[in-house]
C-alpha cells in the first residue's frame, strides 16, 4: 500500500495510476488523514472467472455430446 499526500499526488498521478494498475492500493491523504483510495479495477478478475466457466461449459458440451437417439424408445424406457 502506498500512502501519499494529495499535493504530491498531483505531480505523480501517472505513476500512481500505473501502480494501481499493477495491483497496488494508493491512499491519498490530506494533512496526514486518509482522503481517498486508488485501487485496481475489480471487474477484470470476475470477467476472467466467468470466461473460464463459459469455456468449461463449452468443453463439457463437446465431450458429453448426445448421439442420435429415438425419442419413442427413451419414453418407453422411462415408463418401465
- pLDDT, one tens digit per residue, over 26-53 is 999 999 999 999 988 776 666 778 888 8
- Whether this prediction's pTM lies above 0.75 is answered by no
Edge-to-edge strands, sheet with 33-38: 2-5, 26-30, 33-38
- In angstroms, the first-to-last Cα distance of the chain is 66
Q: How many C-beta atoms lie closer than 10 Å to residue 25's C-beta?
A: 13
Write out pLDDT tens, residues 66-79.
677 778 888 888 88
Q: How many C-beta atoms lie closer than 10 Å to residue 62's C-beta?
A: 8
Pick from 36, 43, 48: which is nearest to 3 by CA?
A: 36
Amino acid at each position: 500500500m502506498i500512502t501519499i499526500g494529495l499535493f504530491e499526488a498531483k505531480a505523480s498521478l501517472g505513476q500512481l495510476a500505473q501502480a494501481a494498475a499493477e495491483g497496488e492500493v494508493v491512499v491519498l491523504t490530506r494533512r496526514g488523514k486518509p482522503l481517498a483510495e486508488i485501487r485496481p479495477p475489480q471487474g477484470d478478475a470476475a470477467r476472467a472467472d466467468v470466461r473460464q466457466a463459459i469455456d468449461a461449459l463449452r468443453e463439457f458440451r463437446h465431450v458429453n455430446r448426445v448421439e442420435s437417439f429415438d425419442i419413442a424408445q427413451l419414453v418407453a424406457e422411462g415408463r418401465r
